[in-house]
Structure 1
Amino acid sequence: MTQHPIGIVGFSHVCIAVSDAEASLRFYRDVLGLDVFFDIELEGPPMEVVTGEAGARGRMIGGMLGGTVVELLEFTHRDFARRPENTLGYTNISLSVSDIDAAVAAITAAGLQPEQQPVDIGGVRMFFIRDPDGTPIEFVSYPNGERTSAQMWGYGN
C-alpha cells in the first residue's frame, strides 16, 4: 500500500444530504438496517462557519451500515428541490450483499420497487433502488464470495 504525505489513515464516513430526516431515517434504518448511534440537532456559529450561511441549522443522524458510518444530514434552514438524477459528484451508495436474489426479495417485501432485476456486469450482479430523495442505492453481489471490489480485483493480496 502506497504512503501519501497527507497521512490519510482510513475512510471516515459517507454523508448524505436529505430533505426529510424522518422519512430518510425510516428508509435507511428500517429498510436498509442503519444501526443509529447518534441523532443531533445542529445550529449556531459552528454551523454558520461550515455552511457560510447565517442562521444555519439542521439535524444529523449517524450510524453503521455494512461496516461504514453513514450520516444523514438535513439542513432545515434550506429549501432543497429534489433532483431526478445526479450527474456529477456523488452518484450512489453501493452495498455488498451475499445473496442478490434474497436482497431483491427483501426490498420488494418492504414495499419498494427495484429499478431493474439484477444484471450481471463483469461477473458482478447488481440492482438499484432509490431513497426518499431519489438518491440511488446500489446492491452488489461479487463472484467467488468476495465482499468488495478491492477483493474482486485482488487489491491488497
Structure 2
Amino acid sequence: MARPGPIAIANFSHVCVGVSDIERSLAFYTGVLGMDVVFDVELDGAGLDAVTGMAGGKGRMVGGLIGGMMVELLSLGDVSALPEGPHLGYTNISFRVEDLDATYTALQRRDDVRITTPVEIAGLRMFFVYDPDATPIELIELPSGARTTDQLWRPPA
C-alpha cells in the first residue's frame, strides 16, 4: 500500500500565545510590538471545554496583526507557565525588522521590557524581547536585502 501524501495546506493562519493577564499582555503587544487589534472575544461553552479539557472553562482571546501576521493572545485563567530556556514544543515567534540596531536602541530606552543582547547566528542578526509572561519574541534582521526567510534560504532559481 502506498504511503499517503501530505495534506493540502491553503495558507498560514495565526500564532496563539497563552497569557496570564490579558490586559497586561495586550498593552505589551500593542504598545511595544504595534499589534493592530482585529478582534476581542469572550470564550466559553462546549467547544472551549473540548479544546482545553476544562469543564465550564471561560477565557478571552484578542487577535491582531503584527507585521501582517495574525497573533492571538489567549487567556484561560490559572495555567502553569513553561520553564524558560530550551524546551520541546513552541519556542518563539519571530518578526523581521528593517534595522536591528535601531530597534534594539529603541527597546533599550524602555523600562517596561526585557531584551537580550543582539547576536549573529547562521548569517542573520537577532535578539529577543520578552512579553509580560516571559514568552520570547525573536526580532531578526536578514542579510543581503532578503525580506523573508524563504528569500534568504532559497536563492532565486
Query: TM-score, structure 2 length as denominator?
Result: 0.88
User: What's 1:41 paired with?
Assistant: 42
User: What's 1:85 paired with?
Assistant: 85
The runs of 5 or more residues in structure 1 that have no matched partner are: none
Q: Give 1:66 shift.
A: 1.0
User: What's 2:150 paired with?
Assistant: 150
SS at match of 1:28: helix
The runs of 5 or more residues in structure 2 that have no matched partner are: none
What is the CA–CA distance in structure 2 between the aligned matches of 1:57 and 1:86, rounded to whole Å? 30
Instruction: Provide the alpha-carbon RMSD of the alignment.
Output: 1.7
**Number of aligned residues:** 152
User: What's 2:30 paired with?
Assistant: 29
1:116-135 equivalence runs, <5 A: 116=117, 118-135=118-135
SS at match of 2:28: helix
CA distance 1:155–1:69, shift in 2 (3 Å): farther
Identical-residue share of aligned pairs (%):
50
Q: What do the CA deviations read for 1:84-137 (whole angstroms, capped 9, x no partner)? A: 335110001111001001110221223234211x21223211111211111111
Which moved further from structure 2: 64-73 or 49-58?
Answer: 49-58
User: What's 2:100 paired with?
Assistant: 100
Which moved further from structure 2: 13-22 or 121-130?
Answer: 121-130
SS at match of 1:62: strand
Amino acid at match of 1:144: S
What is the CA–CA distance in structure 2 between the aligned matches of 1:107 and 1:101, rounded to whole Å? 10
User: What's 1:136 paired with?
Assistant: 136
1:70-81 equivalence runs, <5 A: 70-76=71-77, 78-81=78-81
On the 8 A contact 1:31/1:110 being kept in 2, the answer is no
SS at match of 1:54: coil
